[in-house]
Structure formats: C-alpha cells, structure tokens
Structure 1
Amino acid sequence: MIQIKKYGLLLLIAFTALQITACSSNENTPLQNKSSRSDTAAEEVSDNTVTLTPQQLQSLDIKTGKAGLRNLSAVIQVNGRLEVPPQNAVSITIPYGGIVKSTTLLDGKRVTKGERLVTLESPEFIQLQQDYLDGTNQLEFLTSEYNRQQELATQNINAKKTLQKSKADYQAALNKVKGLKAKLSLIHINTNTLEENGIQNTVTIYSPINGYVTQVNVNRGTHVNPNDMMFRIVNSDNMYVELAVFEKDIPRLKRDLNIHFSLVNDSTAYRAQIYLIGKEIGKDGSIPVNCRITSPITSSMIPGIYLKATIETGTSQLTALPENAIVSFGGKDYVFQPESPKSGSIQDGYSFRMLEVETGVTENGYTAVTFTKDFNPNMAIVIEGAYDLLSKMKNTSEEE
C-alpha cells in the first residue's frame, strides 16, 4: 500500500504507475484533454478520467492498493414477500345471496374465533327453513307408512310392489331432509332447534379463526351474491418468507440455509431459514423458496409486503476491495486506476481513470468484485479517496 501525502513521494508513485501500465495486458488509452488550461488549472477531465494538479494531489488523502482474496460469505441476492399458510387466511363468503343487515368490522380489527362478523337476511333463508320443516313432516308420515307396509308384508297381506313404493318414497323424503339439513348448516342454522325456535329471517356468520381483518368489501344494505368475498381474515402467527430464486442459482440451494432479509418499509435486519424449495420453475424463470422466520415477529411484518433477502450459501475466497475503493455513479459501480503523469511530467498533473466493475457481497468492510475486460487483480487501485476523485470529476464536468 502506498500513501500519497507529501509532494516528495509523487515521483515515486508516478514511476510505479508507469510500470503497472507497461506490464498490463490491456493498454491504457492516452488521455485527451477537452480544453487547454494553464499549469495551475484545477483539474482536467475526459469521459472517464480526472487529472489533478500536484497541489490538489497533495491535499487529498489518497491511498492505493490491489484487490486480494478474502473469506467472504457466498450469497444470492433475491426478492420476495411475506406470506401466511393457507390455513391462516380465510375469505368470508356465503353460498346464498343476501343483504347485509349489520356488521361492525373495519380493516385492521382483531377478531377471535367464534366472534360474530356479519348478519344477513334473505327470503331464500326463509324458504330453506320452510322446506326443511315441510320435509321433516313428510318424512315422519312416510316413515310410519313404510313401517306399516313392512308389517303387512310379513303377514302376506299387501303386494310386494306396494312395499317397494313405500320404501322408495321413504328413502326420497329422508334424502331430501338430509340435503336440506346440510344446506342449512352452511348458513349456520341449527336444525335441531329449528322447530322449537321457529323460522328465522336472518343468518349470522362467525369467524372461523383468530386474526386480523385485512379486507372489508361490504357495508349495511349491501347485496351479497353467492360466494362473494365479504371479508378476509389473516392470522399472522405462522407467517413465512417466500422468495423467488432464479434457475441459475437453484443448484446452490438446500434446506436450512440462513437468510437475511429487510422489508421495504423497515431497515431492520431479520433472519430466516429455508425449509421448502419449489419443484417447478415458473414462467418468469424462478422457483418459490419458503423460509421459516427465526427473528421475532414485529408489527412491521404485514402479509403480502415485499422484501429484499440475502441467501448465505457458504463461505469462500473471493477477490475483494475495501468498500471505500468502490464508488457508485449512474446506477453502476466504479474504481479508479492511477495512470502516468500527464505529458510524462509530474509537474503537469496526475491522472486517474474510472473503471466499471461488478460487485458482489459486502462483509467486514470489503466488497467482492468481478473482473472485467478493463479490470484485473494486478492493477493498482485507489482504495481511499475514490469519492473525492468522483466529486472532482463531476464538478469539473459541470464547469465545462
């Protein structure tokens, strides 16, 4: 590592940069100044190069070094969202149409299992109860008649055909009553007390789970069609992370890998572990990966919210640079490479060329970098002061 602080060291740095340039397999493009300046000019810049005067170079705390191998976590960067298991989310519907008579539900309200959600009324409810009561009366008569015919048959008094018809009528009535009873149970009407309590013109729907109301689609007086969703209730106790992992990264996945994730509305870091890996690739080229949340559930965790996650696939030696060596500009990442002094003389200034790099995981102050056609690990790179150079470059471009 070379630290450039004093003017007396500039000649040594210039000589080192010239050696690196000569040994590199990729020749650097000579600098082309956009405009002529005096020897005391602030700096000169091409599309990707900034030149500092000796005075400016002396004032900046610039250090150079090379990329090296570091033990960093090999990771996969993915997107996903929070979900709840199917048994923890309920859409409240009714198989028959009706009109909402009363409800007190609001989005976000906590409800408990068995709590009243909504009351509806409909002539269809009345008709079902009437048909059931009529059917039970008819069944009572046909049961008695069938028993009578069986007794006559044992005495060879009636014809076999008469007994068969009596049995068929009885079975038909019994099936009808059973069917009506099942229909009434769908709208929570207890047939065991129907005859005693009489026909009711309203039906009450109760919550089948504990949870929070996440959708309310009705109000008093709303006409509800059969199977329309009136409410949605979600129990977030067993929330999990669902990630979308693209097929190129599938071979690196396995059960129990650690996950770090953060929500779009919360910078807090949470942890999870993979417990299910999908077996079919979707149209977008990804598979769903379900992860069990190991961090405490917080109020920021809302089912359906999007998140960014990092999957730790192990530790390996990766080529890395200090974080301060990498600058971001225009949505891309860059490093600065020292070049030879302008015109071969240190008095005319010192140049730095900005090279694009691809970055990976950042850990313990180092960021993994991927080689490109312009960047290789044997280059001398500015590892401190890179943002100062970027600032000089941007300011000079604006002045021109």
Structure 2
Amino acid sequence: MKKFIHTILIKRLIVAALCITSFSLLLSGCKQKEANMEVQEAVAEDERFVTLTKEQAQNIGIETGTIENRVLSGAISVSGMLDVPPQNMVNMTAPFGGFLRSTSLLQGMHIAKGQSIAVIENPEYIQLQQDFLDTKAQAEFLTAENQRQQELAKENVNSQKVLQKSIADLTSMKARNNGLRAKLKMLNIDPDKLDSEAIRSTIELRSPINGYVTQVNSAVGSFVSQTDVMFRIVDTDHLHTELIAFERDIPKIKIGQTIRFTLANESTERTAKVYLIGREISADRTVRIHGHIDKDDRELIPGMYLKAMIETGGQSLPTLPENAIVNHEDKNFIFIKDAGNENSFEMIEIGTGLRQNGFVEVDMPSDRSAKNVIVVLKGAYNLLSKMKNVE
C-alpha cells in the first residue's frame, strides 16, 4: 500500500514539473516576441531618418527653409461646349404647311434679318385670302346695317330684338375677320394691302434674325407640314460657354469669376465670366454653369467642345516649392531637419493641394505643426536616393 502511494506522489511531482517548464517556455516566447516587435519598430523608426556627413551635405548642396503662407488662386477644372441662347436659334417651318417651290439656302450661308429664304405654295392660302375679303365685306355691310337699326330704334320703328341681333351679327363677323387677319399676318401677307386682284397661292418665308444657316432639311418640290423643320438659322454673335461642374465644386463657384477655356485641338486661350449657376443637380451629380465670352468671335461654332478652368479667387495657404516635395510609391514626402542633429533629416508623409507658379499647398500630418519646422528645400531627392541606397 505504501509503495502504491509513493508511486502516485512521484507521478504528481513529474506533472507539476512539466507544467512549470511549459509555462516558463511560453513566458520566454512572449518576451522574445515583444522584444522582436520593439526591434522592428525601432528599425521602422530608423528608416525614416537619413544622416549625412558634413562633406556629403556640402556636396549635395542642401538648402533649408520654412513652410510659408502664400496667396494661391484656386481653379476648378471643368468641361463643356459652346452654345447659343434660345432666342438666337430659329427653326424655320411653313405655316399651315405647303410645297417648297424655291430656296437658295446652303449650310454656312449668312442670312440677314427679313431676307427671303424660301417660297411655299398651298391652295389653302387662296381660300384663306378669299374668306378674309368676304368677311371684310360682310363686316362693312353689317356696320352700315347696325347704324340704320340704331336710327330706327331711336324713332321706335323697330324692336330692341332686331337691334340686338344686328349688334351680335356685326360683332361675330368682326371676330371672324380679325381671326383671318391674324392668320394672314402669320403668312407674311399684309391684310391692309390685300384685295381681290392680289390673291396668290404662294408666300415668302423671311428670316426673323441675322445669322448663319446650320441646317437644310427640305428639298425643292417636297411637301412640308407645319411641324417640319426646313431650315435652322443661328446667330453666333452671342455665343456662351455651357460648362459642367461637379456638385462638390459648386460652393466655390461665384457669379463674375473668370473662366479660361481652350477649344478641342486648339491652343489659343479665351476668357469668359460666370453669368449663371444652375439650380438643379443632374442624375450624375453635376450642375450647369453658364458663362459669357468676353470677346465675340464669328469663327466660333455652337457645339464646339472645350476644356476650362474657373478661377475661384486667391487664398493664403501654407506652401513649399515643388522641389521640396518628393514622390515615392505614389505618396508625397518632405524631409525636415532633426532638432538633435544638424545633418540628420526625417522623412514624413504630407498631403498636397493647389499648385501655382512653382509652389504647392502643403497639408501636414495631424501630429505635426507647420510652424518652426525646418524643411529641406533643395536636395530632397538626393536624400531620398541615399536613404534607399542605404536600405
């Protein structure tokens, strides 16, 4: 029995020893892992620094300075096209339809306001003129009849009913005559000069504006309805820019700002002014910007595509020269001088913004301040090259 108890005690002691050994090994492994992490962090920290000797610093020609505030003009990149206001574009149609008997229009021709551009023929024009002359004659007769009935009414010869009917007939006939008069004016026929000897089956279409012919859609001899567009005439004297800006940029755009634009396949820069800002956001989250061109150019054509920059005004921003910023692995960095060592420099990642005249807006990390920081202005790429060679 004692031997059995002795055996059990020995087994328990062996198990306890094994547990203590395993715990010691585990604790040792954790400490080793923590030590390795500290080493890695130290190495990563060291990788952000580069140290030069005095001779190296002189050979590279390093120049330092501070981050300074400068006034940069913001600009928003947009695209669009040239367009004309609605009143400067006319679609020519035939009132009441008809056959196109003659026209000399060709695309690109310049047309003066009031110039005859086509002759339209329709038998209905004859009936319209006849009806006008007929109602005109009847109105004159009813006017005389109404005057006679009024005289008889004064002498109580006729009844009031007869007088009222005379007035109603005259009013109705004048309404018909005035309606036909309006239709004749739509056909460019002067009602006051129309008589039975001047009735005709053709009318002349005249241009209501000065401009250029941009479309010719009908041939001589074809029948055109009153909704068919035969010609399009555009006045290009008041072209404007119709730009498309993204929703995020709208708060920066103000009426009166300068627009600088160039046409496709052209290097000449032209200017305009923001005149109207749209009040509706489209499905693709864009807004229309209407600009008036500063100098009219008859060579410009509606529909031309353009690229433009809208100048949004100047603002004071922290900046550095472009040469002070290095790009590595699609990120932007600068080198700042280590306070403890004159020839040691730390590479830190930054954000950038506006660029103008060789200077770039700088956005420092949240844990860094732009004040009192000594930045490498010249020789930054040499430091980057040395740092990577050392690695």
Instruction: Give the TM-score category using the shorter length.
Output: 0.5 to 0.7
- The secondary structure found in structure 2 opposite 1:220 is coil
8 Å CA contact 2:237–2:297 kept in 1: the answer is no
Does 2:139 correspond to 1:113? Answer: no
- The secondary structure found in structure 2 opposite 1:173 is helix
Does 2:123 correspond to 1:123? Answer: yes
8 Å CA contact 1:135–1:173 kept in 2: the answer is yes
Counterpart residue identity of residue 164, structure 1: Q
What count of residue pairs does the alignment treat as equivalent? 310
| Structure-1 separation of matches of 2:66 and 2:212 | 52
Query: Residues 239, 254 of structure 1: CA spacing in aligned structure 2 closer, same or farther, 3 A cutoff?
Result: same
- The offset of 1:144, in angstroms, is 2.0
Structure 2 gaps of 5+ residues are: 1-43, 51-59, 335-348, 386-391
- The offset of 1:121, in angstroms, is 0.4
Return the match for 2:356 from 341, 363, 366.
363
Does 2:300 correspond to 1:301? Answer: yes
**Aligned pairs for 1:276-295 within 5 A:** 276-294=276-294
Query: Could you list the per-position Cα deviations for residues 134-180 of structure 1 after superposition, in whole angstroms to 9, with x for gaps in the alignment?
Result: 11122222222222211111111111111111111111111100000
| Structure-1 separation of matches of 2:253 and 2:135 | 61
The equivalent of 2:138 in structure 1 is: 138
- The offset of 1:278, in angstroms, is 2.4
| Structure-1 separation of matches of 2:49 and 2:108 | 67
Does 2:48 correspond to 1:22? Answer: yes
Counterpart residue identity of residue 304, structure 1: G
8 Å CA contact 2:325–2:333 kept in 1: the answer is no
Counterpart residue identity of residue 96, structure 1: F
| Structure-2 separation of matches of 1:200 and 1:314 | 64
- Cα RMSD of the aligned pairs, angstroms, is 3.9
Counterpart residue identity of residue 144, structure 2: S
Query: Residues 149, 383 of structure 1: CA spacing in aligned structure 2 closer, same or farther, 3 A cutoff?
Result: farther
Q: Which has the larger radius of gyration?
A: 2
Q: Taking structure 2 as the reference length, what is the TM-score of the superposition?
A: 0.67
| Structure-2 separation of matches of 1:324 and 1:228 | 65
- The secondary structure found in structure 2 opposite 1:134 is helix
Does 2:349 correspond to 1:314? Answer: no
Counterpart residue identity of residue 180, structure 1: L
- The secondary structure found in structure 2 opposite 1:107 is coil
| Structure-1 separation of matches of 2:221 and 2:324 | 64
| Structure-1 separation of matches of 2:210 and 2:156 | 62
| Structure-1 separation of matches of 2:216 and 2:88 | 17
The equivalent of 1:79 in structure 2 is: 79
The equivalent of 2:89 in structure 1 is: 89
- The offset of 1:87, in angstroms, is 2.1
8 Å CA contact 1:132–1:181 kept in 2: the answer is yes
Of 142-151 and 297-306, deviating more is: 297-306
Q: Taking structure 1 as the reference length, what is the TM-score of the superposition?
A: 0.66
| Structure-2 separation of matches of 1:132 and 1:383 | 92
| Structure-2 separation of matches of 1:185 and 1:101 | 20
| Structure-1 separation of matches of 2:378 and 2:284 | 40
8 Å CA contact 1:325–1:383 kept in 2: the answer is no
Query: Residues 380, 205 of structure 1: CA spacing in aligned structure 2 closer, same or farther, 3 A cutoff?
Result: same
8 Å CA contact 2:332–2:351 kept in 1: the answer is no
- The secondary structure found in structure 2 opposite 1:209 is coil
